[in-house]
Structure formats: C-alpha cells, structure tokens
Amino acid sequence: MDSFFKEINKYVVSIFLFFSGLSFLLKYLSGDELESQPTAMLLASLALIAVAILAMPAVLARMSNAHYRILLVVGSVSALWLGYEVFYSVDEEIEFRELKARVDSETVQALKDIRDAQDAYHDVNGMYCSNFDSLQAFLYQEVIPVSFNMGSFNDTLPEEQSRDMGLVLTREELAPKAEELGMTEDAFLDLISADSTTYKVRDVIYTSFFAENFAPEVRAAKRLPRVSVDSLWFNPLTGERFLLETDSVDSGGLMQSTVLVKDPTPFGREKVKKDTLRFGSLTEAHTDGNWRN
C-alpha cells in the first residue's frame, strides 16, 4: 500500500495540471455565439495539458540532456510570449472598460434627455411622439407652461381678497400699472419682489422645452453636458439613430400611450452578449430606464 501511494505521489502534479487544463478547455468549448470565451483560455488549457504530460515521471525518464535543453529554450520563449500576452490583454481590458464606461455614460445621458423631451411632449399632447423629427421640432415650440409668481400673500390680505381688490396682476398688466403709479416697470417689480407693496404677480407664461432644459446656461447650472440637438437622437459612438416605437395599452379601462426607445448598437465585444440600454415599454405604461444610475 505504501508503495502505491508513493507511486501516485509522483503523478500528483501531472494530475493537477491535467484536470486544470481540462476544466479550462471544457469552459472554452461550452461558449456559444453570444458568450464565447477568449482564445487565450484555449491556449492556456492546451498548455496546461501539455505540461501535465511532460511532467509525468515516465516521460521525464525517457528524455535526454538535449531534450531538456530544447524544452528549456521552448519554455523560456513561451514564458516570455505568454507574459507579453498577459500584459497586453490586461492593458487592452483596461482601455476597453474605460471606453465602455464613457460610451455607456454618454448613451444613458442621451436616453435620459430624450425621455425628458418625450415626457414633456406627452404632458402637452397627451401621447408620446412617434418620430424624432417631430420631437426635435417640439423642443423649440413655446408650449411649456411655467408659473410666474412674485410677491407673497398674508393673513391680513389673503389671495382671494387681493384678487377682488385688483391687486393680483398678470405680466401684461405690470407696465400699465407701473405707469399709473408713476414709476418704471423694473422699479415696480423690485417693490413686488421685496413685498413692499400690496400688489402681487400671478401668471403663467409659455416657453420652449429647449429654453427650460437644454439651453447651455441651464445645463451648466445642473452640471450636465451640453446638448447637441441634431446629434441627440444617435448613438454617440456608432452614429446609428436610436430605435423609437410607440403604442398604447389598456390600463384600468383607460387607454394610455406607451413609448420604447433603445440603443440599436450596444457597446461590447464581438460574439459576447451585450446589454441594450433602453427606457420605456410598449406593453406597460412607464418610462423607466434599464441602466443602474
């Protein structure tokens, strides 16, 4: 029995290397068209199996000094080559991940901006826009209502009483009232803003979605990148136009508009399954995005 274990111990290294190489080989062969493994895995598995065979005592016993020298040269060259491949693959992977993070970030930001525009279009028109050309034209239409309030009410002179007394003005009424009071419009606005007069301003003005959300000064204040409207509808890397679909679903007896926008060319390696960035759904009434941040 002791002799048996001693004999087996001679092959422990070979057995370990062989099964390690075999496991890597099986992993490589198990990859499909969407989740294929890198070629380096195949080379590593074959190398481990080859070393396992060469490390067997029966093989080593048959080798001459010349064979040892040849194996030493081949092993040294192979080690240098594999070292270079490892360094190159690691460096390439770092660059790939940095590029992917940048492209995904720009793509997600574009999808968020498109979603905001679609939400605004839906608020105004009661449905989502079915094409990007019409959505781009909508960005500049002054149809977005914005409340314009200046001056505050108090218990002594509440809003209803102020309106009955004619103290609540619209923006169009500011200039005539200022002239009537013998002051400039700017001076009159300063008094209202400081609550130094009983007059108040309550009005609704209309502006464009671009002015409220995409103007350079607005984006800078929000610490967001500038928007190029002409290129907003395209993948930032490939230039392919985002895919846009609209439909409607019955939700509690009420038909609701739905929208789905997705990236036509998701970033990633060839033959590796990629995550398609998108927001919305055609079967559910929501505009949630599938990104993490």
For each of the chain's 293 residues, which pLDDT tens digit applies? 556 556 666 667 677 767 777 776 777 677 544 445 556 666 667 776 777 776 677 666 676 767 666 765 666 566 566 656 655 665 677 888 888 889 999 999 999 999 999 999 999 999 999 999 999 999 999 999 988 898 888 878 888 898 889 999 988 899 999 999 999 999 999 999 999 999 999 998 899 999 999 999 999 999 999 999 999 999 988 999 999 999 999 888 889 999 999 999 988 777 667 789 999 999 999 999 999 76
Dihedrals φ, ψ of 35, to 5°?
-130, 55
Dihedrals φ, ψ of 129, to 5°?
-75, 135
How far apart CA 191 and CA 14 sit, in angstroms, is 91
- Predicted local confidence at residue 86, as pLDDT: 54
* 63 within some domain: yes
C-beta of residue 247 within 8 angstroms of C-beta of residue 282 = yes
23: containing domain? 2-96
Split into its structural domains, the chain has a count of 1
* 42 within some domain: yes
* 90 within some domain: yes
* 108 within some domain: no
- Predicted local confidence at residue 73, as pLDDT: 67
Q: At what angle do helices 39-54 and 65-125 cross, to 10 degrees?
A: 160
* 79 within some domain: yes
Give the pair of three-digit tokens for residue 172.
């169009």
* 66 within some domain: yes
* 78 within some domain: yes
- Predicted local confidence at residue 35, as pLDDT: 46
Residues in the chain: 293
The dihedral over CA atoms of 211, 214, 218, 220, expressed in degrees to the nearest 10, equals -150
* 21 within some domain: yes
- Predicted local confidence at residue 34, as pLDDT: 41
How far apart CA 85 and CA 285 sit, in angstroms, is 50
